[in-house]
Amino acid sequence: MKNNFLLLSAMLLWGAGTAQKDSVMIRKIYDEALQNGQCHQNLQVLCKQIGHRLSGSPAADKAILWGRDLLQSYGPDKAWLHPVMVPVWQRGKSETGYVIGQNGERTRTRIAALGGSVGCPGGITGELIEVKSFAQLDSLGEQGIRDKIVFFNRPMNPLHINTGAAYGGAVDQRGDGAARAARYGARAVIVRSMTLAVDTFPHTGGTWYADDFPKIPAAAISTVDANALSVRMSKDKNLRYELTLNCRDMPDKEQANVIAEWRGSVNPERIITIGGHLDSWDIGEGAHDDGAGIVHSIETLRILKAIGYKPRNTIRIVLFINEENGNRGGITYADEAKKKGEYHFAAIESDAGGFVPRGFRLDGTDAQLVWLKDQAPLFDPYDLHYFRGGGSGVDIGPLKDGRVALIGLVPDSQRYFDYHHSDQDTWENVNKRELELGAASVAALVYLIDNAEW
Amino acid sequence: MKNNFLLLSAMLLWGAGTAQKDSVMIRKIYDEALQNGQCHQNLQVLCKQIGHRLSGSPAADKAILWGRDLLQSYGPDKAWLHPVMVPVWQRGKSETGYVIGQNGERTRTRIAALGGSVGCPGGITGELIEVKSFAQLDSLGEQGIRDKIVFFNRPMNPLHINTGAAYGGAVDQRGDGAARAARYGARAVIVRSMTLAVDTFPHTGGTWYADDFPKIPAAAISTVDANALSVRMSKDKNLRYELTLNCRDMPDKEQANVIAEWRGSVNPERIITIGGHLDSWDIGEGAHDDGAGIVHSIETLRILKAIGYKPRNTIRIVLFINEENGNRGGITYADEAKKKGEYHFAAIESDAGGFVPRGFRLDGTDAQLVWLKDQAPLFDPYDLHYFRGGGSGVDIGPLKDGRVALIGLVPDSQRYFDYHHSDQDTWENVNKRELELGAASVAALVYLIDNAEW
């Protein structure tokens, strides 16, 4: 009994000492991020000197070299390019959309072809039909849809507090709308942009075809145009739409994930991966999506080096390629890991924007989730409060093996879709402190994971 | 024992039922705010049709009538103007600041007179001296300071996670710098803007003189200019500064708090006040400070009416005048309450911007604070997690009587000082959803307080 008591006391003291040491380290990490942070200026270079960088583009090539050189400058043990074959889709020089009235009057709407769409360089014209759901599409059937241009116009639901949930409830229109409408003989689709903002910017994003039906052109229109068009259609049933797209698929090309490795001093065989995706859509600057995650990940290395930390496990920063239209980077990275029999202890992804961090989501074992929740008090001084299960990130998803902890940074979601996949996703719309706090949060979690056992 | 058990079961069931009813009501409140919200468009009118509105200005007169009419349109039992004598300070037509080099070369810096500053229409020139703290000022003494222009340049400390704490640690330079430097014979002061952003905008704010020393002119310069000037001064010890201000005090003027009252159905004598301040500084549009608090408060009335709520206590929406340079509105409101022997049950203020809400601070009794913390689970679905003691708001502060609960909305603080008191504080920098979530949070808390007993 007495021995147990002593043991218990020793354990409690040890626990208190560890918590004390952790809180000092985490304070150092945040101080370094806020006092000497480089992520905001690094993001400026990525956004302004390189700009948007769709997989397969020359800009993506530039971004890969930029990322490797920047990582190298922060002194990892090594940095290298990990070759990945990526799809190449090009928007082409011009794309136009016109609403055509009964007397032939033409009203231009600003459009953006959806990523992966086939082109229609000669233009396609058809009668417009507004559809809010796939159930409605199915009930209209071939009779209602054939030869028409389907206008998918179900708004994201503003009642979701997390805007990601609102996106999840609407994005089927963008991802599968063309494939579903093609079944019934539609000529093309236009899709209301995936944003809760009422703005004049088309927000693009991937669309995916089914193999057993023809591929038809698909483009996004802005929410302002979608609202106006819907009102106009309620008064005039015979509106037509003319869509001209010059986008096309090209042969796959070799690009790369960028990887920097910092070897562990105790368990070098155990790997902690931190990453985001280097590619972006081909409009805007890919600042929040996912330039923020890229500079968060790179800044993690810089911060831990700057405070003199020596990792127990091997830390890898990975700038994944091709998240937006294929996830070839994530898949190739996981394939390689499997082939080499690597032991992945944890992987953290930042791909939800450079907004003020609120916490982390974990996809892993029950023990790992309990561990994550136990870290909450250490993050309380930094206003992080969200530590829950479920979800992580697209790039790290393929690593899932029942053992690795997959973790996603959870920034505040309110403004994310204002910028997402549009010309608005620029460096100017990323706040310096919010970005730095995100980087510090990732670095702090990496430190804690590096000292965890589960 | 059995009876006790039955009683306990009944109480638990009753408690669960109440929590269930509350969570349904709160969901209705957020739904109404997010689906039919009018606060963002109301703020647009205030910012774009009226603009900035310093106490005593014609724009403040317009804002008062706008506020009364808007409140009236949402159907309170009555709305009225409560007269308040306010100070009148005018910036005047032009204000300039030049750094003058040894060979007489002049470099213009953008400036903004601090609110309340005396003018110097003919210009004042003096040798510059950079000072980081009042301790340094005191040690320089009259010998080091007389006839000089003191340049207060201690930055806000970026290591504070809450930017309000960083502001609190630097704002003495703006508030008291002129008074402290005048003791030692300084001719004027220029003060580094109170912001963590490195930007080109001067951020104004109040300065306060001591009665026993002369009043000397005081102006803010931008953080970009402050950094550049500091570097230049480190190389050249003989820089002078020329300051010209046309600002002046005018006689006090009658303006008003705007009050709307919605009588309680059970305890009409018990008053719950919800407010923000209608006045703003005289640059920018007073969008976050405190147009946001004004429209949050007005929206609270609209939301509770829209969902068919009948308050038990009397609810008052108060648009306070003169928070920025005198707090005469808050003081007059509290004086009137005392004179009439009103029973103020709670007062809630929103004066920390239209950013995503994180919770509430309460200044009141222990029981009230315990009550507030007990509400946390009801706010968890809306991502509010901050429920703590200490601080509320300047306008409601004078109501403090040991009985009333004084509560401040706590929005995220990261971006607040980027805009604060500068030309950047415009409607465009207020996000619609973030603003709406703030309004819903205040309305939800009002509902809960209306059903509380402490």
End-to-end CA distance of chain B: 29
What is the full DSSP assignment across A206-265? B----TTS----EEEE-HHHHHHHHHHHHH-TT-EEEEEE--EEEEEEEEEEEEEEE--S
One domain for residues A290 and A218? no
> pLDDT-based confidence at B299, cuts 50/70/90?
very high
In a domain, A15, yes or no: no
B305's tokens: 């009416």
Cβ-Cβ contacts under 8 Å, A41 against chain B: none
Cβ-Cβ contacts under 8 Å, B356 against chain A: 356, 412, 414
Which SS3 state, helix, strand or coil, does residue A30 take?
A: helix
Examine the pLDDT at B111 and tell me if it is beyond 50.
yes
Question: Best mutation site among A36, A40, A223, A412 for testing chain B: the one with the most B CBs within 10 Å?
Answer: A412
Distance from A433 to chain B by nearest Cα, in Å? 7
In a domain, A20, yes or no: no
Is the ipTM higher than 0.90? The answer is yes
- d(CA B312, CA B431) in angstroms, rounded, equals 33
Cβ-Cβ contacts under 8 Å, A161 against chain B: 30, 381-383, 437
Cβ A34–B159 below 8 Å, yes or no?
yes
- d(CA A325, CA A172) in angstroms, rounded, equals 15
pLDDT, tens digit, for every residue of B2-29? 556 555 666 566 667 788 999 999 999 9
Distance from B173 to chain A by nearest Cα, in Å? 22
Contact map slice: A 139-158 vs B, CB within 8 A: 158
Question: Best mutation site among A156, A157, A383 for testing chain B: the one with the most B CBs within 10 Å?
Answer: A383
Residue of B301, B233, B298, B237 whose CA lies nearest to B263: B301
Q: How many CB atoms lie within 10 A of CB B98?
A: 18
Q: Does B432 touch chain A (CB under 8 A)?
A: yes
User: Closest to A382 (Cβ–Cβ): which among B31, B161, B163?
Assistant: B161
- d(CA B424, CA B428) in angstroms, rounded, equals 9
One domain for residues B395 and B255? yes
> Which domain CATH number covers B186?
3.50.30.30
Average of pLDDT values for B62-81? 98
Q: How many CB atoms lie within 10 A of CB A447?
A: 23
In a domain, B131, yes or no: yes
pLDDT, tens digit, for every residue of B353-400? 999 999 999 999 999 999 999 999 999 999 999 999 998 999 999 999
Residue of A nearest to B155 (CA): A35
Distance from A371 to chain B by nearest Cα, in Å? 20
Examine the pLDDT at B112 and tell me if it is beyond 60.
yes
Residue of A nearest to B163 (CA): A433
Average of pLDDT values for B281-307? 98
Cβ-Cβ contacts under 8 Å, B433 against chain A: 158, 163, 196, 414-415
The range of the structural domain enclosing residue A232 comes to: 92-246
One domain for residues B295 and B205? no
Which SS3 state, helix, strand or coil, does residue B95 take?
A: strand
Predicted local distance difference test score (pLDDT) of residue B77: 98
Say what percent of chain B tops pLDDT 70: 97
- d(CA B319, CA B255) in angstroms, rounded, equals 12
- d(CA A172, CA B450) in angstroms, rounded, equals 42
End-to-end CA distance of chain A: 28
Residue of B44, B62, B52, B47 whose CA lies nearest to B256: B62
One domain for residues A336 and A445? yes
- d(CA A165, CA A36) in angstroms, rounded, equals 35
Residues found in chain A: 454
Question: Best mutation site among A288, A303, A414, A419 for testing chain B: the one with the most B CBs within 10 Å?
Answer: A414
Cβ B161–A383 below 8 Å, yes or no?
yes
User: Closest to A414 (Cβ–Cβ): which among B35, B414, B434?
Assistant: B434
- d(CA B351, CA B368) in angstroms, rounded, equals 21
One domain for residues B290 and B323? yes
One domain for residues A322 and A341? yes
In a domain, B63, yes or no: yes
- d(CA A432, CA B418) in angstroms, rounded, equals 10
Cβ A437–B382 below 8 Å, yes or no?
no
Residue A257's DSSP bridge partners are: A82
In a domain, A43, yes or no: yes
Considering its fold, how many domains does chain B have in total? Answer: 2
A108's tokens: 């231009």
Cβ B433–A412 below 8 Å, yes or no?
no
Q: CA torsion sign, B400 to B403 to B409 to B413?
A: positive
Residues 6+ apart with CB under 8 A from B400: B363, B406
In a domain, B115, yes or no: yes
Residue of A nearest to B356 (CA): A414
Phi/psi for B353 (5° steps) reads 100, 165
In a domain, B9, yes or no: no
Residue of B nearest to A195 (CA): B433
Cβ-Cβ contacts under 8 Å, B354 against chain A: none
Residue of A nearest to B379 (CA): A161
Domain boundary among the residues A228, A246, A264 is at A246
Dihedral, CA of residue B325, residue B328, residue B329 and residue B335, to nearest 10: 160
- Computed on alpha carbons and rounded to an integer, the radius of gyration of chain B in Å comes to 24
User: Closest to A433 (Cβ–Cβ): which among B31, B196, B381?
Assistant: B196
Number of H helices, E strands in chain A: 13, 16
> pLDDT-based confidence at B47, cuts 50/70/90?
very high
Question: Best mutation site among B28, B30, B159, B196 for testing chain A: the one with the most A CBs within 10 Å?
Answer: B159
- Computed on alpha carbons and rounded to an integer, the radius of gyration of chain A in Å comes to 24
Cβ-Cβ contacts under 8 Å, A196 against chain B: 433
Cβ B437–A161 below 8 Å, yes or no?
yes
Cβ B356–A159 below 8 Å, yes or no?
no
pLDDT, tens digit, for every residue of A417-448? 999 999 999 999 999 999 999 999 999 999 99
Distance from A120 to chain B by nearest Cα, in Å? 37
Predicted local distance difference test score (pLDDT) of residue A1: 47
- Separation in Å, CA A407 to CA A83, A314, A368, B184: 25, 17, 10, 58
User: Closest to A356 (Cβ–Cβ): which among B159, B414, B432?
Assistant: B414
- d(CA B424, CA B214) in angstroms, rounded, equals 33
Residues 6+ apart with CB under 8 A from B143: none
B115 secondary structure, DSSP code: B
One domain for residues A281 and A352? yes
Cβ B412–A412 below 8 Å, yes or no?
yes
One domain for residues B55 and B68? yes
- Separation in Å, CA B230 to CA B153, B191, B233: 8, 12, 5
Predicted local distance difference test score (pLDDT) of residue A14: 62
Residue of A nearest to B355 (CA): A414
Q: Is the distance from CB of B446 to CB of B307 less than 8 angstroms?
A: no
Q: Does B380 touch chain A (CB under 8 A)?
A: no
Residue of B158, B161, B196, B155 whose CA lies nearest to B174: B155
Predicted local distance difference test score (pLDDT) of residue B191: 98
One domain for residues A166 and A74? no
Q: Does B253 touch chain A (CB under 8 A)?
A: no
One domain for residues A299 and A373? yes
Cβ B383–A163 below 8 Å, yes or no?
no
B244 secondary structure, DSSP code: E
b or e along A158-191 (b: 16 or more beta carbons within 10 Å of the residue's beta carbon)? bebbebeebbeebbebbbbbbbbbbbbbbbbbbb
A373's tokens: 């929740």
**Exposure of B253 by Cβ count < 10 A (0-12 exposed, 13-18 middle, 19+ buried)?**
middle
Q: Is the distance from CB of A228 to CB of A195 less than 8 angstroms?
A: no
Peptide bond preceding A290: is omega within 30 degrees of 0, i.e. cis?
yes
> pLDDT-based confidence at B244, cuts 50/70/90?
very high
A366's tokens: 């029950």
Cβ A358–B383 below 8 Å, yes or no?
yes
Residue with tokens 């504080």: B425
Cβ-based contacts under 8 A for chains A and B: 61
Return the H-helix or E-strand segment holding B179.
helix B172-183
A355's tokens: 């907004």
Domain boundary among the residues B200, B230, B246 is at B246
Domain boundary among the residues B219, B246, B273 is at B246
Cβ-Cβ contacts under 8 Å, B358 against chain A: 383
Cβ-Cβ contacts under 8 Å, A431 against chain B: 414-415, 418
Low-confidence ranges of chain A (pLDDT < 70): 1-15
pLDDT, tens digit, for every residue of B190-233? 999 999 999 999 999 999 999 999 999 999 999 999 999 999 99
Residue of B226, B217, B168, B160 whose CA lies nearest to B193: B226
One domain for residues B401 and B257? yes
A161 secondary structure, DSSP code: S
In a domain, B5, yes or no: no
One domain for residues A220 and A312? no
Q: Does B163 touch chain A (CB under 8 A)?
A: yes
> Which domain CATH number covers A51?
3.40.630.10
Residues 6+ apart with CB under 8 A from A22: A378, A447, A448, A451
Distance from A34 to chain B by nearest Cα, in Å? 6
Residue of B53, B43, B48 whose CA lies nearest to B279: B53
B331's tokens: 């003081």
